[in-house]
């Protein structure tokens, strides 16, 4: 128990360090640009809340707060940010004015540093590699949920999807050229799928469903209820089970169940669930050899508090390969993910709304889940590319309080050839800051509901009632 607590705390520390480093590098960009352009810097703070350390060096206050949530730079000459950073100690009226050009340079520096850090992370991923699953490389259907829109449209396991809603696809999951994204992003009553089946090119028009949720829960998005083809390879055989008694071994691949080819790990359990008292005939590939065996499922206990259910006692090998994606492609894919999300948000017909976005809580959860896995640091480095590009682009949006808003105000000042009225600017900044804080609280409300308050652990491979379908989200 003590070791589990230490492991949990260590992973949590990794999340805090990595998340804070990303925010602080962004703020460091503003700080260094302000030093270069000769702006008055009141304070450079790491973390928020009541300071646990503060010191003035060469006219700049450096502080360490008590809430580990990023950092800030107080630049009174840039724009009033009192509602977020607190009131300035020196009246702004007494400070010399700065040019619109200097304001633009300081505002752009934060996103530029975030983007540069994304490039650094992308290069690290290129060197150390990224864990890649079959979902990242296949467009073959492995499972179709019975009674689902996909089954009604005659989509079948083994079909290779070429296009979804008129868009070519390269992978099953993700937000760039993926099946799940184009299903989610579709806007029609049906979704056309161009598929390859037995050497023929066919088009199938599928309906879609959305899960009904309660009003306070995050709204669902479109699904057709399919899952990717994953090699049904055995990772472990549980002792004293039908699979062990039949002589199955780790590394064996189940190719057919009762003479029918399977393309996903959940297909076996579907057959067992439908007829738990009837033996299943399995075709097994072991290396270059093939053989058949017949196994009688029996009731086996589930993990932790899960009830017993009919199984044969195997754990699937959900293997990963290590790929080394080109840094440029990583940046392009990350940028397209953000652009796709913004496009979906502004479309009136899209199911993607503010509810589907995520805030710091969800980002921290994603980092935590990644870092506690076997390939944790590789996954976290890859996710950091996306997060830094996201931070750069989001901050460049032309909204007051954000860096893009500062750039717009500097442009207005340059055109008018005089600064925006300070009282007006304070009112605009305060109003927009409250809106931004409200938005963050809104998405955090939904993020908190999805936190894994109870750790369920990983299930035995053939104990799931059905394989996961392919719901994509914009998060």
Q: Are residues 6 and 118 in the same domain?
A: yes
**List of long-range contacts for 284-289, beta carbons under 8 Å, 24+ apart:** 284/248, 284/252, 284/253, 284/254, 284/255, 285/252, 285/253, 285/255, 286/249, 286/251, 286/252, 286/253
Q: Return phi, psi of residue 289, to 5°.
A: -105, 150
Q: Are residues 400 and 303 in the same domain?
A: no
Distance CA 342, CA 339 (A): 5
- The residues, any chain, with a CB within 8 Å of residue 101's CB and separated by 6 or more, are 410, 414
List the chain pLDDT tens, one digit each, 475 residues.
667 788 778 888 888 899 999 999 999 999 999 999 999 999 999 988 889 999 999 989 999 999 888 899 999 888 766 555 556 667 666 788 889 999 999 999 999 999 999 999 999 999 999 998 888 889 999 989 989 999 999 999 999 999 999 999 999 988 889 999 999 999 999 999 999 999 999 999 999 999 888 878 888 899 999 999 988 999 899 999 999 999 999 999 999 999 999 888 888 888 998 889 999 999 999 999 999 999 999 998 866 566 788 999 998 887 788 999 999 999 999 999 999 999 999 888 888 888 888 888 999 999 999 998 888 899 999 999 999 999 999 999 999 889 999 999 999 989 988 888 878 888 888 888 899 989 999 999 999 988 875 333 333 333 333 333 333 333 3
Residue 298 sits in a domain of what CATH number? 2.30.42.10
Query: What is the phi-psi region of residue 281: left when phi exceeds 0, alpha when psi lies from -120 to 50, beta otherwise?
Result: beta
Q: Are residues 7 and 125 in the same domain?
A: yes
> Does residue 36 belong to any structural domain of this protein?
yes
> Does residue 172 belong to any structural domain of this protein?
no
> Does residue 123 belong to any structural domain of this protein?
yes
- Residue 28's domain comprises 2-129+377-449
> Does residue 384 belong to any structural domain of this protein?
yes
> Does residue 65 belong to any structural domain of this protein?
yes
Q: Are residues 103 and 8 in the same domain?
A: yes
DSSP-derived secondary structure letter, 306: P
pTM over 0.95: no
Q: Are residues 291 and 388 in the same domain?
A: no
Cβ atoms within 10 Å, residue 24: 19
> Does residue 85 belong to any structural domain of this protein?
yes
- Bridge partners (DSSP) of residue 250 are none
**In total, how many domains does the chain have?**
2
Q: What is the pLDDT of residue 89?
A: 65
> Does residue 427 belong to any structural domain of this protein?
yes
Q: Are residues 387 and 303 in the same domain?
A: no
DSSP-derived secondary structure letter, 94: G
Distance CA 401, CA 435 (A): 10
Q: Are residues 309 and 420 in the same domain?
A: no
Q: Return phi, psi of residue 69, to 5°.
A: -140, 55
Cβ atoms within 10 Å, residue 242: 23
> Does residue 267 belong to any structural domain of this protein?
yes
Q: What is the pLDDT of residue 214?
A: 83
Q: Are residues 309 and 405 in the same domain?
A: no
């Amino acid at each position: 128990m003590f070791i589990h607590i230490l492991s949990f705390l260590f992973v949590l520390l990794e999340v805090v360090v990595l998340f804070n480093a990303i925010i602080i590098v962004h703020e460091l960009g503003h700080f260094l640009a302000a030093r270069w352009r000769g702006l008055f810097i009141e304070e450079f703070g790491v973390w928020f809340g009541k300071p646990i350390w503060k010191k003035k060096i060469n006219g700049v206050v450096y502080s360490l707060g008590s809430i580990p949530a990023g950092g800030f730079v107080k630049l009174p000459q840039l724009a009033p940010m009192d509602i977020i950073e607190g009131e300035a100690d020196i009246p702004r009226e007494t400070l010399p004015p700065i040019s619109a050009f200097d304001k633009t340079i300081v505002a752009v520096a934060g996103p530029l540093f975030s983007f540069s850090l994304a490039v650094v992370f992308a290069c690290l991923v290129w060197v150390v590699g990224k864990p890649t699953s079959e979902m990242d490389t296949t467009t073959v259907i492995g499972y179709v949920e019975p009674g689902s829109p996909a089954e009604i449209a005659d989509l079948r396991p083994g079909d290779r999807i070429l296009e979804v809603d008129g868009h070519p696809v390269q992978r099953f999951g993700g937000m760039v050229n993926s099946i799940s994204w184009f299903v989610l992003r579709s806007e029609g009553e049906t979704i056309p799928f161009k598929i390859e089946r037995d050497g023929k090119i066919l088009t199938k028009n599928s309906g879609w469903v959305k899960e009904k949720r309660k009003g306070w829960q995050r709204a669902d998005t479109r699904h057709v209820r399919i899952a990717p083809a994953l090699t049904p390879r055995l990772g472990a055989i549980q002792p004293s089970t039908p699979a062990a008694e039949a002589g199955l071994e780790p590394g064996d691949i189940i190719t057919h169940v009762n003479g029918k080819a399977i393309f996903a790990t959940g297909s076996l359990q579907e057959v067992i669930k439908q007829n738990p008292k009837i033996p299943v005939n399995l075709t097994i590939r072991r290396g270059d050899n093939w053989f058949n065996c017949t196994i009688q499922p029996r009731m086996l206990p589930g993990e932790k508090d899960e009830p017993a259910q009919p199984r044969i006692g195997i754990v699937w090998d959900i293997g990963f390969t290590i790929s080394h994606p080109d840094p440029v492609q990583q940046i392009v894919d990350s940028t397209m993910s953000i652009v796709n999300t913004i496009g979906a948000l502004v479309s009136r017909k899209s199911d993607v709304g503010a509810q589907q976005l995520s805030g710091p809580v969800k980002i921290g959860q994603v980092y935590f889940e990644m870092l506690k896995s076997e390939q944790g640091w590789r996954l976290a480095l890859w996710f950091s590319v996306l997060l830094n590009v996201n931070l750069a682009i989001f901050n460049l949006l032309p909204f007051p309080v954000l860096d893009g808003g500062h750039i717009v105000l500097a442009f207005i000042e340059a055109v008018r050839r005089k600064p925006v009225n300070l009282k007006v600017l304070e009112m605009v900044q305060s109003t927009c800051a409250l809106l931004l804080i409200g938005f963050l609280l809104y998405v955090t409300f939904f993020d908190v509901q999805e936190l894994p308050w109870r750790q369920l652990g990983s299930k035995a491979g053939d104990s799931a009632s059905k394989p996961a379908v392919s719901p994509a989200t914009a998060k």
